Structure 1
């Protein structure tokens, strides 16, 4: 987490500066007291102190003491805020924030500390949501598997293909969900290893289209590949980019009706020499209020199957390659999912 690392980096710097500032205060205070005592000694040795001079010396000492106390208060209040917030965070309350005040170093530390807590709060919320989503996704297939197996054990269902096949299909769905979650976890944590190699994007797109053509023909959908002639070889992981194209093509075919068209096309970018890839359909489209949600975990339209992780995985795989992905759609006009791939790692 960048905020945590930033806070750790600044912590040592701050402690050194803080120790130096305290030493400076002690030195100034000691020097001031010594100066006052020396002045009193000199004056006392020459002649007794007159009331006005004594009052002046006392006033000087009081001003010096107030200045020292004020400096310590400016440090003590922000440090107290940090201690209180750290205590709340230790108990799991990541909503705590500290006021950004005090000397420059303390303000920098406060901002880094707040950023760290904000990131921790977001991570905790995402983990909680993920757990709820995974629990929901597991419930249905496990219920089907349990129902079929218990029915066969109790003699209610015969152990035939019609009752075993649904259980096997649900087991396969669970296996795909686990694989998707593993890929997503690696991508989001930055631990996903990309095996980059020079790749012909047109060959990759044709392979994906060939694997889907029997399904497209059965559904009465035209599946086309349109690639620019000047596409360069890209330094990408072909397995991961194929996974992106498979997810996007499967989604497009699922939401396109008979007589429709799905197109995989790519063009060279003018700046940087990379490529812009798009999977476009003229199907049912996506409502405007749902469009910002489609790359979220477990997002599903009403009639879609699958795990609901395909677009989330695609987004993270594109980001791992250094590209960006976005969607354009309107109800009744179709959807275009477009992503960029740099020519080589940056």
Structure 2
């Protein structure tokens, strides 16, 4: 009888310890969940799990502080970038005004044309820096507007100066297709892709098309500018990456990719027979 009571006592003790262990594990999980919700209240229990609780608490607080420090550093860098861009803008504006005055008097000097081109590049770069800082600092979601693709492409193409003999073709399919996203940011993305095509010396035809299936609505922009070297296809969306034949800053396509992804889409590039094709997919399931 004593042995039976002893065995039952051991079994009771075992099950109680197992129950207590599971309870403390659940309390540890709850502690992690509370800290994730920014509730840093520390339980005042003293047992074998207390050291683990203390270690988890210290680790979590260290991670929170590191994350906050990273966010603060990123915000400061963005502010510095904006400040630099604005400071660049002021002397550029002054120099452009002075250059216009000089051109009236010395219109025949070729050096003035070179200076003017460089000033325009600096002015463009300062605008890009401001757009980049604004995009990087944008913590809020992009606006979710109903956008007609024809209106989007028309608005984007107005900022591209098609002075060279380039045939710009827009498919009628855009008239009836709509997507959800931020109109002005997506117009910026489309503008950058159009400029990339237009800036290719061999390009004299740019075609914009679209299609819709149950999964996504796509917008394709293709050109006949000779295509992109295979080794550059995976690099073309990297920020500040420039192909050898590029006259840009290596920012436009990277910005386009970032904008599209922030609008819950994706962008891909491939070579076609005589040029390149960019395809933007906007998924119908949100």
TM over 0.5: yes
Give deviations 1:171-198, integer Å, cap 9, x for gaps: 3322221221222222223247856544
Q: 1:207 and 1:11 mapped to 2: Cα distance?
A: 43
1:160 aligned residue: 106
Select the residue among 154, 169, 181 that pairs with 2:117.
169
Shift of 1:215: 3.2
Does residue 178 (structure 1) correspond to residue 140 (structure 2)? The answer is: no
**Unaligned residue ranges in structure 1 (runs of 5+):** 1-5, 26-70, 76-101, 153-157
Select the residue among 293, 296, 306 that pairs with 2:248.
306
2:25 aligned residue: none
1:282 aligned residue: 224
Check the 8 A contact 1:280/1:335 in 2, yes or no.
Answer: yes
1:16 aligned residue: 42
Q: 2:269 and 2:68 mapped to 1: Cα distance?
A: 27
**Unaligned residue ranges in structure 2 (runs of 5+):** 1-31
Shift of 1:340: 2.4
Q: Which runs of 4+ in 1 moved over 6 A?
A: 118-125
Provide the secondary structure at the position in 2 that maps to 1:215. Answer: coil
2:280 aligned residue: 339
Inter-CA distance 289–190: structure 2 relative to 1 (3 Å threshold): same
Larger % of helix: which? Answer: 1
TM-score for the superposition, normalised by structure 1? 0.52
Q: 1:315 and 1:210 mapped to 2: Cα distance?
A: 21
1:44 aligned residue: none
1:255 aligned residue: 200
Instruction: Count how many residue pairs are aligned between Structure 1 and Structure 2.
Output: 240
Moved more, 304-313 or 207-216: 207-216
Check the 8 A contact 1:227/1:267 in 2, yes or no.
Answer: no
What are the residue-to-residue correspondences of 1:1-346 with 2, within 5 Å?
A: 9-10=35-36, 16-17=42-43, 20-21=44-45, 24-25=46-47, 71=48, 75=51, 102=52, 106=55, 110=59, 160-161=106-107, 162=109, 163-191=111-139, 197-206=145-154, 208-209=156-157, 214-217=162-165, 221-228=166-173, 231-255=176-200, 257=202, 261-271=205-215, 275-329=217-271, 333-341=274-282, 346=286
2:14 aligned residue: none
Shift of 1:318: 1.4
Q: 2:106 and 2:176 mapped to 1: Cα distance?
A: 53
TM-score for the superposition, normalised by structure 2? 0.61
Inter-CA distance 165–340: structure 2 relative to 1 (3 Å threshold): same
Check the 8 A contact 1:283/1:335 in 2, yes or no.
Answer: yes
Inter-CA distance 313–214: structure 2 relative to 1 (3 Å threshold): closer
